[in-house]
Amino acid sequence: MKSMSGQVIWITGASSGIGEALAYELSTMGNTLILSARNKERLKEVKAQCNNPAKVFIIPMDLGNFNLMPSLVSHAIAATGHIDILINNAGISQRSLIADTHFDVYKKLIDINYLGTIALSKAVLPHFIAQQKGHFVTITSLMGRFGSPFRSGYCGAKHGLHGFFDVLRMEHEKDKLQVTLVCPGFIKTNVAVNALTADGSPQNVNDHATSRGMEVHTFAKKLINAVAKKKFEVYIGGKEIAGVYLKRFFPKWLHHVVQRSKVV
């Protein structure tokens, strides 16, 4: 596995799940970390468990507060001197039928998963351009490549991230910027527990498939390897990854496979 060391890496959604696992793994490699999430106290706990807490900085963040992103970026640069890698990990999932879902739920999914990620990335972009280097790592989902029932708004937001960051890569190749899109399958986190239901309340129970998914520390290692190799796009998970290729070559077959799977 390729590793990364001596980098300044900003991780959003770092208070739990994938973000927390990345913090622990990257801290053992000698990196300086910036950890962001809404829960400041939980971030402090993650920092304390990192390999070298003195090289870990906490910047609480709510992705829904778009206008605060430039000031948060300035704060991050003041604390660490510069940023090498931004890992856009924060987000929220969904478990509800289209016909039942309140429109406000869709708005929240777009605000957090799509617009908030873009707002932070755009705020970091001038810094990356000025230093003529920088790596955007955006964790989307296999749902950014094909759809599945009960996840309509989540799929829409994740599909949008692929379009935006593919273009960002094209427009800023001249500035020596890198973009890696990471598409997880089923990973053992609380993403399903926290998923929004039709009225915006959390599901509060885990999905069967998620509970049997890849261990989060295994996922973190695979993600770091892909970033170190500067891959454009990577799919990490189990057999569900096949859906990406079925969508590309046999979309009707994928439709029937997903309908029969009844994965919720």
- Taking only the tens place, the pLDDT of each residue in 90-142 is 999 999 999 999 999 999 999 999 999 999 999 999 999 999 999 999 999 99
User: Cα dist. 41→23, 48, 152 in Å?
Assistant: 16, 11, 32
Q: What is the pLDDT of residue 261?
A: 80
Average pLDDT (249-253) is 93
Tokens linked to 42 = 């939980």
Active site residues: 154
The domains found in the chain, sorted by start residue, are: 8-261 (3.40.50.720)
- Taking only the tens place, the pLDDT of each residue in 193-211 is 999 999 999 999 999 889 9
Tokens linked to 84 = 């090498």
Q: 3-state SS string over 149-206?
A: CCCHHHHHHHHHHHHHHHHHHHHCHHHCEEEEEEEECCECCCCCCCCECCCCCECCCC
Q: What is the pLDDT of residue 3?
A: 72
Give every strand in the sheet of 8-12, ordered side by side: 56-58, 32-36, 8-12, 85-88, 134-139, 177-184, 233-236
Q: Model pTM?
A: 0.95
- Taking only the tens place, the pLDDT of each residue in 220-236 is 999 999 999 999 999 99
Per-residue pLDDT for 262 more than 80? Answer: no
Residue spans of alpha helices (H) in the chain: 17-27, 40-49, 69-80, 103-109, 116-131, 152-171, 208-211, 216-228, 242-249, 251-261
CB-based contact 153:91 (threshold 8 Å): no
